Structure 1
């Protein structure tokens, strides 16, 4: 869903944005859904198998967002930890709802086996405004690094810090949408004062592994599970997806730590970033949510079988 004005209506082409341009961009954004109703209320219904934890708050006057995480109710400090994150890019709907669906329907299946930590919506302002960035026009998914600027990433890293060294698996749930090409990539180019270079959107589900530790068998186990739910994106004519070489069926790799991606936040042995395509004529919102759940379950199952 596009904002009311073209991203190129903000700023001067070829010149990076300053604070005035960021303020102008922020004024164009409109709240389109409710974090409290969609996320906080859902978290409140999950007390049977989960402990909810407030891990911070975001005060974007006049908007205020408590940040919440779900912990396994039977948490045991002798067990490894599986992390599921959604909504780092708030507009990517199935990441948020897929994380909540996993927690609601499958959390109890892992009792006594692994500690689960689910953070369903890292970027609540982005969720409400259907935006990739936070209100400072900063991408949280490039901010998981020392001196990162996104408050959303800083809060999550503080939550994870006491658990470092204990993470076995981390699944970060994302989408690639048509608005990536029509809105968010043009906005990024405008913000950074660079020319917009058109690209393509893969039609289907794919994964982004860690180029420094790709774990190909792990990635393929997830692809095999998701393929039972929805279709896997093919490579383009150049053997690539979103400009990166396809290294295996439905898989590309990024240097996640160098880019400051959420997938780098734990140092887990098994790490992946999911990408669902909700605008595909061959997929429904329910399938997209189910694909995210299938990916999480396959990731944790593989990690438990290969500790």
Structure 2
């Protein structure tokens, strides 16, 4: 489907300028609290983990401290695992899945793996239930040198000293109905391009790295998640979100080339999870549980 009048901001065929960006910002309404939902949960983890700030996101008069949670007794001989959530702030189950994994499951892996977990990469977007940051930039296309996204740059600085030392990186995401109704149309309007939609897959799936495919790792996660919620089937073209299906519930993306979060660690095993919270077959609780199952399976695989 292509439509030249698909978004209420901007002129078809023209990229946004300052006026359009201001209009878009005016539409963004704070709907929940990063401090209440995330920082309070992080505070409760301080007795069991090392919790440290790794930066701050500042937009206009708002300041958001960024926190990372590490295994308390980091041991050089153990495999390191990076878990990230909330790169897209509107993808709720990734944030709460990372926090629940830390609270309920991570202590059981003490002495088996070293964990570095960042539960909410994009706090401004978390509060607005938004994919982009304040500057209408997608952080998950901005993990590259001289990143224009504060959130992406801060996370890369955190990870840089350990880059190449991770066994696995699990990045927690969602695919929602608003991808088709809001975010893809907004991106096309912002960039002055025509909007072409694709279907939204009903179910959980994974994105593996085109340059470093690890099918056994992906399969282990799919098998674990399938016990919690359903896996997305292929669409009529044999793919998911426009990419060919390479295995049950798995597609490939060029992670580094696209500036994706899962490409920053240099880990051998990387994956991006995609939960579908709008499915009539899944509840919010199942979506969080699916993220937790994915992380546990990934940790088990390397630890």
Unaligned residue ranges in structure 1 (runs of 5+): 1-5
Structure 1 contact 7–183 (Cα < 8 Å) conserved: no
CA-to-aligned-CA distance 1:234-255 (integer Å, 9 cap, x gap): 0001101000000000000000
Q: Give distance in 1, aligned partners of 2:270 and 2:197.
A: 29
Give distance in 2, aligned partners of 1:163 and 1:147: 19
Query: Superposition RMSD on alpha carbons, in Å?
Result: 1.1
Does the 8 Å contact 2:163/2:264 carry over to 1?
no
Q: Secondary structure at the match of 1:200?
A: coil
| Alignment CA distance shift 1:220-1:19 (3 Å) | same
Q: CA deviation at 1:220?
A: 0.5
Kindly indicate whether residue 63 of structure 2 is the aligned counterpart of residue 64 of structure 1.
Answer: yes
TM alignment of 1:125-274, pairs within 5 A: 125-274=124-273
Structure 1 counterpart of 2:54: 55
Deviates more, 1:177-186 or 1:47-56: 47-56
Give yes or no for contact 1:203–1:277 (8 Å, CA) kept in 2.
yes
Structure 2 distance, partners of 1:105, 1:127, is: 23
Deviation at 1:7, TM superposition (A): 7.5
**2:8 is the alignment partner of 1:9:** yes
Query: Gapped runs of 5+ residues in structure 2?
Result: none
- Quote the offset at 1:160 in angstroms: 0.5
Aligned to 2:280: 281
> In structure 1, the residue corresponding to 2:206 is in which secondary structure?
strand
Deviations 1:173-216 (A, max 9, x none): 00000000000000000001011112110000000000111100
Q: Distance in 1 between matches of 2:165 and 2:12?
A: 46
* TM-score (normalised: structure 2): 0.97
Measure the CA separation in 1 of the matches of 2:262 and 2:69: 18
**Which residue number in structure 2 is paired with residue 117 of structure 1?**
116
The 2-side partners of 1:198 and 1:291 are apart by 26
SS in structure 2 of the partner of residue 256 of structure 1: coil
TM-score after normalising by structure 1: 0.96
